[in-house]
Structure formats: structure tokens, C-alpha cells
Amino acid sequence: MATTTRVLFVSATTHFPNQCHKCSPVAKSIPLPVSSSSLTLSSSYSTSSLSLPTLRKTLKGVKRVGIRTSPVVAMAQSSKTTVLVTGAGGRTGQLVYKILKERSDQYVARGLVRTEESKQKIGAADDVFVGDIRDAETLVPAIQGIDALIILTSGVPLMKPGFDPTQGNRPEFYFDDGAYPEQVDWIGQKNQIDAAKAAGVKQIVLVGSMGGTDLNNPLNSLGNGNILVWKRKAEQYLADSGIPYTIIRAGGLQDKEGGIRELLVGKDDELLKTETRTIARPDVAEVCIQALNFEEAQFKAFDLASKPEGKGSPTKDFKALFSQITTRF
């Protein structure tokens, strides 16, 4: 993207070799183990979050309104998997939504964006919903009736104006009011998980970032947001929810062609200590969708990167890829 759009579901516009999921520069770091207890943080942020009983009651009363479908079409659609992509206006989210639409013989695609502007950007189809992940009630129409949820929402650090790279200084970042990682990556993702659970969703795929085992990771200092800490807290909440899940902690995202590299999975940020710390966005999108097809991907969390183009064989067997993973968190 050429300009910085101050919405929750877009990616930062500054590109760095070690850029992680929707965040800014990442220096090579030495991972340190972090226990789940150290990530149990209290939140003073007040939202309109709904309790599960309230959500279930709300969902029960929702009537689905739309175009009347013939019995033949309805029967055909019943064999497909209805998938909601949140953060569908972001660069990776757009790819996932697009692939799902292209594979209409297998999936019924839905997207969730925060603004009408974002909806127009990705085609303004009736299957794109506008909602605010910080407000649980706005998620109900999009989530009602889906089989799977792919979460690609993230807080976005914005660069402070006036940065001059010729001066040799590092850029400074900030988050808009109401768009801090605590509100977006924790409260917002928790709202999505709760709404999905209330609606009986069968699987959730959550895309995060590598680096969460190191509290001193540079990403946490951007805008004093502790973004990886809040992402990790949401991941733990999902793992404890009882819903079949797949947590993908992507390496530095690159806007390159997908499907031409050998993918690598790891755990505990071990890949950050190697030279293979990046991955193409289309490859992340493909792994998100493939995770819906194999039991081997369920109840698992893993780091994801790829070998450089030309080294190794492009990954085609995703069942084998997921079978390598043994970590639940």
C-alpha cells in the first residue's frame, strides 16, 4: 500500500527485511522462554464485550435474511465450508478471502472489515461485513452460520511524521487512540473467539507473529504497545477455549509470489535464530486455508517460515507439513 490508512485491519506501510505480521522492524533477537503465567496480564480496558451466555442468546435470536435459495443450490452449499476471514481488508487477509472465493466449489467465503472504505476496496460483495472487533455485538451477523473462522486482525503501529532516513535516526511509532494492541490483539481477538464459540464454530485459525517468547523483542517497544505480549495472551485464550484451533506464528511477511518455496515449521522462535525467518504472504494465506482441511493441523501452534526460492522443494503436501508439528502451544 502506498499510504498509511489508520484502520485496524491494514498493514503497516513501512517495509523491512524482518517485518513480522502487520508490524514494523524486527531486529534479530535471542529468544527467551516465557511462561504462560508471565503473560497473564490484567486489563483495565472497558469494552462492550458480551458474555458467552449473552452472545448465545443474541445469536439464537438472529434471523438470517438474504436471497431465497433453491433447494438444489442449498443442498450444494451445505457440503461446502463457510469461512469468515476477519481483517479481510489487510494485505494477507485480502489474499485469504480471494483464494476462498476462487475455490467456490469448496468454500463459501465471508469477509469482515472495519469500514465501508475497506469493503469497497475488496469488491463490496454482499458477503463482506462491516464490524468492529472491539464491539462484540457487531460481530454477530458475520459469524452467525459459519463453520470456520480465520483471524487476521492486528494492531498497526503508525510511523510518526517527520522521520528523515537521511539523518540516521530510527523512526518512532505510535498507535491511534482505541487501536492499541491491548484493545485490538487482546480484547478484539477475545471477542471473536467468544462469538465463534457461542455460534458453534468448528475451527479457528489465528495468525500471529514469531517473537512472542522474548519479552524484549523490538516489536514490543513500538509505540510502547507490547504487541507480541497481547497477541500471545489471545493465543493462550484460544488454546484454552476448547474449540479446535490452529495458531500460525508467521515470520517476516514478504510481498512475493507464493507456492514456489519449501515451507518450514518450528516452535518457540527457534527459526528466528536461523537465516530462514521470512515467508511470502501468499504462502501464509495458503497455510491458513489448508489448515481447515486436515485434522493434523488442529490443536496445534507453530512458527512458519520458508527456505529461499530455489532451495529445497516447494511445499505441496500440507498434511505432511502439519504432521511435523507436535506443539499445542
**pLDDT per residue rounded down to tens, the chain (329 residues):** 444 433 333 333 334 334 455 554 433 333 333 433 333 333 333 334 455 555 555 555 544 444 444 444 443 456 899 999 999 999 999 999 999 999 999 999 999 999 999 999 999 999 999 999 999 999 999 999 999 999 999 999 999 998 888 888 889 999 999 999 999 999 999 999 999 999 999 999 999 999 999 999 999 999 999 999 999 999 999 999 999 999 999 999 999 999 999 999 999 999 999 999 999 999 999 999 999 999 999 999 999 999 999 999 999 999 999 999 999 99
Buried b (16+ CB within 10 A) or exposed e, 209-235: bbbbbbeebbbbebbebbbbbbbbbbb
Domain annotation covers residue 218: yes
Classify residue 155 as exposed, middle or buried by CB count within 10 Å of its CB (0-12, 13-18, 19+).
buried
> Is 209 annotated as catalytic?
yes
Query: What pLDDT was estimated at residue 52?
Result: 54
Overall pTM > 0.75: yes
Domain annotation covers residue 226: yes
Q: 29, 49, 209, 306: which is the annotated catalytic residue? A: 209
CATH code of 178's domain: 3.40.50.720
How close are the terminal C-alpha atoms of the chain, in Å? Answer: 33
Domain extent, residue 283, equals 72-161+171-323
Neighbouring C-beta atoms of residue 85, cutoff 10 Å: 34
Classify residue 114 as exposed, middle or buried by CB count within 10 Å of its CB (0-12, 13-18, 19+).
buried
Query: What pLDDT was estimated at residue 74?
Result: 43
Query: What pLDDT was estimated at residue 49?
Result: 47
Domain annotation covers residue 3: no
Query: What pLDDT was estimated at residue 164?
Result: 84
Domain annotation covers residue 263: yes
Neighbouring C-beta atoms of residue 39, cutoff 10 Å: 17
Domain annotation covers residue 247: yes
Residue with cell 518450514: 264
Domain annotation covers residue 45: no
Domain annotation covers residue 5: no
Q: Which regions of 201-314 does DSSP assign to beta strands (E)?
A: 203-209, 245-250, 252-254, 263-266, 278-280, 300-306
Give the three-class secondary structure for 65.
coil
Domain annotation covers residue 115: yes
The backbone torsions φ and ψ at residue 96, rounded to the nearest 5 degrees and listed phi first, read -65, -45
Number of domains in the chain: 1
Q: For 65-69, which contacts have Cβ atoms below 8 Å and span 24 or more sequence positions?
A: 66/126
